[in-house]
Structure 1
Amino acid sequence: MTEQKAQAKVERGVYLSLAAYIMLSFLKLGVGWVYSSEALVADGLNNSTDILASLAVLIGLKISKKPADRDHPYGHLRAETIASMIASFIMVVIGLEVLISAIKSIVAFEIESPSMIAGVTAIFSALIMLAVYKYNIKLARQTDSQGLKAAALDNRSDAFVSIGAAVGIFGAQFGVIWLDPLAAVLVAIMIIKTGWDIFYETSHNLSDGFDYEEGKKMEKQILNVKGVKQVRDLKARKHGNSVILDVTIHVHPDLNVIESHAITEQLENELKNKYKVESISVHVEPHEIRKEVETNE
């Protein structure tokens, strides 16, 4: 799949999320206010944050498509990661607002019993978001897009949030009216957790963190290349949805420059195909051969 096609698929997924969030946020906020459901209003506010988050990811995707320039020799791919981090901030802030509002309602015991219509709306919304999640997570795996993966996880979180809201609303129908604001509290916690998870992953990547196990798999792949005797050092970092790799390998000391270069080319091709490595810097050193000296006594 070409980079252009991958970008087009990612944008399609973000636009789908954006359309779903706009529709559902208006639906939930309207029904929640009319039929007195704090859980559904909290869920609607959650979707309102998702609109802003989706817009941030979309802007990040647009910027990430810009070609490399003098100030950005590796391109602008990290704009997508930065957009995901901004989206996480928005989620946490709104989640805290919903949490405070719901707790105040429980403490003051200003609770109204919500209508069954609010519960049906929540279930309908959950089914819509599960369908959007399945579509987007499939695209995210195909394109290895961090921004779309964050959007897909948020889609799934929204579906669970709506299910939680529905449980609270239906519970209130049986006289347990405090279940509705309690569901709003749980919704708020899920919003905050989703925001934190996205922030943790994006901050890890922006600070040049890299998954240790994936690095070991790359090292094993390099050692399978004919002519590589040892991997002395391997450093990797994420750049958007791609990887930048610096590696030092040991080869037989008798190899000439052309033979050593052929090994590095094979190494680069294998890693680019398997691990979506965008840029590889390979440093070649002679392998130390230890000879055993036998002494006859």
Structure 2
Amino acid sequence: MLSNYILRRFGPINEDYKNEESRIKVGYAASVVGIIINVFLFSIKLFVGLLSGSIAIIADSFNNLSDASSCIITIIGFKISSMPADKEHPFGHGRVEYISALIVAFMVIIVGFQFTKSSFDRIINPSAIKFKIVPFILLLLSICFKIFLGLFNKNLGEKIDSNALKATALDSLGDVVITSVVSLSFLLSNFTTLPIDGYIGILVALGILYSGFKLTKETLSPLIGEAPDKELVDAISNGVSSYKHVSGVHDLIIHNYGPGKCMASIHAEIPSNIDIMRIHDIIDLAERELSKKLNIILVIHMDPVCLDNEEINIARYEVSEVIKSYPEIKSMHDFRIVGDGKSKNLIFDLVVNSYEINTSTNEQSLIDKIILDIKNLHPEYNCVITIDKSFN
């Protein structure tokens, strides 16, 4: 593939693209190629725009210049994000990559606003466009370059799982549409005296603004704290569950400290009657193997559960049937019975989505309803229920 050939021009790269060194080299290569192509396209389009007097083409040229600036910021972002952890930042500097993408987004928005204004001025004060075939061919050529750049960044973004490169790829493919519209307006100017250039300039500017706001949303989301990738959630849950004596998992929390830098904690249910040293060795092994396999830092907490007590098993089944009528409840765990005789407590945790049950009033209302349902079945049981929030 052409992308692999280009990567090799920047020196040997480990094909394990989750490797930190590989991510930096790939990000650097993508950014350098982006700078070269975008500066080249800026020069062509600015020449064509000035030659023809088209505000739409000039706007599109400065869109390419902002893309080149974006690539420079991306290089800086990759460089800083790869810095090792220090005393002030014990989890490293990975989130700088998101911040650099956010700066790029703001730059794109500024360019969009500037050319919206310029395009309105062109509509109010129209001027003739000078159509020439050679500049038109140069515009068509620039579309081919942008298609290549979009596919190139998309391929590399998927290789190293970089939101910054994926966003750049999307922006490049969006530019293909913008330049195509600009080329069409340039061609139509040869057949009409209407100020079509100004209107197309506004469309180009709005396209630039859309790209900027979309990129802002995509880069703010991981900074604010977005839900983790479902594939990673399933890989961790299924991975821990696959180890011997683990009967269930819950309370998975994943923290993102930058692309490829995740810390996760999870609770694993294990039989309460098993030797503690034996199960501790198994849990340690799971932490080491899954951390390496999934390229994360994984911490597993052990929750002992009783699996061979008939009363507990019957009560667990009955409570499971009760909670089926509550769609907001995802699962139940840590079920146990404490006490004897007529004074017994059912103690268990219920997992709900954090965005569905988001106030203490809602929590208590849910708990009260479930307690009432259980009391109708077994008046002798008291219930101690804890609501756990799912963040996945």
**TM-score under structure 1 normalisation?**
0.88
Structure 1 residue 245 and structure 2 residue 261: aligned?
no
Report the counterpart of residue 59 of structure 2 in structure 1: 42
Structure 1 residue 234 and structure 2 residue 252: aligned?
yes
Of 194, 200, 214, 2:217 maps to: 200
Structure 1 residue 263 and structure 2 residue 283: aligned?
yes
Contact 1:223 1:229 in 2 (8 A): no
Of 39, 61, 75, 1:58 maps to: 75
Contact 2:108 2:212 in 1 (8 A): yes
Greater CA drift, 156-165 or 55-64: 156-165
Q: Structure 1 residues 270 and 16 mapped into 2: Cα distance closer, same or farther (>3 Å)?
A: same
Deviation at 1:203, TM superposition (A): 0.9
Please give the residue correspondences for 1:1-297 in structure 2 after superposition, counting only pairs within 5 Å: 1=16, 2-106=19-123, 108-116=124-132, 117-175=134-192, 177-211=194-228, 213-214=230-231, 216-218=233-235, 220-222=237-239, 224-226=241-243, 227-242=245-260, 243-255=262-274, 256-266=276-286, 269-270=289-290, 272-274=292-294, 276-277=295-296, 279-289=297-307, 291-293=309-311
Deviation string, structure 1 residues 44-76 (Cα, Å, up to 9, x no partner): 111111122111111111111211111111111
Contact 2:241 2:248 in 1 (8 A): no
Q: Structure 1 residues 157 and 280 mapped into 2: Cα distance closer, same or farther (>3 Å)?
A: same
Greater CA drift, 145-154 or 15-24: 145-154
Query: Which contiguous aligned blocks of 4+ residues in structure 1 show a shift greater than 4 angstroms?
Result: none
Deviation at 1:210, TM superposition (A): 2.2
For 2:41 and 2:67, the matched residues in 1 are separated by: 11
Greater CA drift, 115-124 or 162-171: 115-124
Contact 1:26 1:44 in 2 (8 A): yes
Deviation string, structure 1 residues 171-220 (Cα, Å, up to 9, x no partner): 22221643322221121112111111221121110112224644653454
Q: One-letter code of the match for 2:39?
A: I
Greater CA drift, 215-224 or 143-152: 215-224
Query: Which entry has the higher C-alpha Rg, 1 or 2?
Result: 2
Q: Structure 1 residues 230 and 93 mapped into 2: Cα distance closer, same or farther (>3 Å)?
A: same
For the residue of structure 1 that corresponds to 2:310, the secondary structure is coil
For 2:282 and 2:194, the matched residues in 1 are separated by: 72
Contact 1:40 1:118 in 2 (8 A): no
Greater CA drift, 1-10 or 24-33: 1-10
Greater CA drift, 192-201 or 112-121: 112-121
Deviation at 1:11, TM superposition (A): 0.8
Report the counterpart of residue 348 of structure 2 in structure 1: none
Higher helix fraction (1 or 2): 1
Q: One-letter code of the match for 1:286?
A: P
Q: One-letter code of the match for 1:145?
A: S
Contact 1:210 1:238 in 2 (8 A): no
Report the counterpart of residue 371 of structure 2 in structure 1: none
For 1:9 and 1:100, the matched residues in 2 are separated by: 37
For 1:214 and 1:281, the matched residues in 2 are separated by: 18
For the residue of structure 1 that corresponds to 2:91, the secondary structure is coil
Q: One-letter code of the match for 2:302?
A: V
Contact 2:113 2:205 in 1 (8 A): yes
Contact 2:56 2:198 in 1 (8 A): yes
Gaps of 5+ in 1: none
Contact 1:120 1:166 in 2 (8 A): no
For 2:218 and 2:308, the matched residues in 1 are separated by: 44
Q: Structure 1 residues 93 and 136 mapped into 2: Cα distance closer, same or farther (>3 Å)?
A: same
Report the counterpart of residue 377 of structure 2 in structure 1: none
For 1:78 and 1:32, the matched residues in 2 are separated by: 39
Q: One-letter code of the match for 1:136?
A: N
Matched length: 291
Q: One-letter code of the match for 2:102?
A: M
Higher strand fraction (1 or 2): 2
For the residue of structure 1 that corresponds to 2:247, the secondary structure is strand
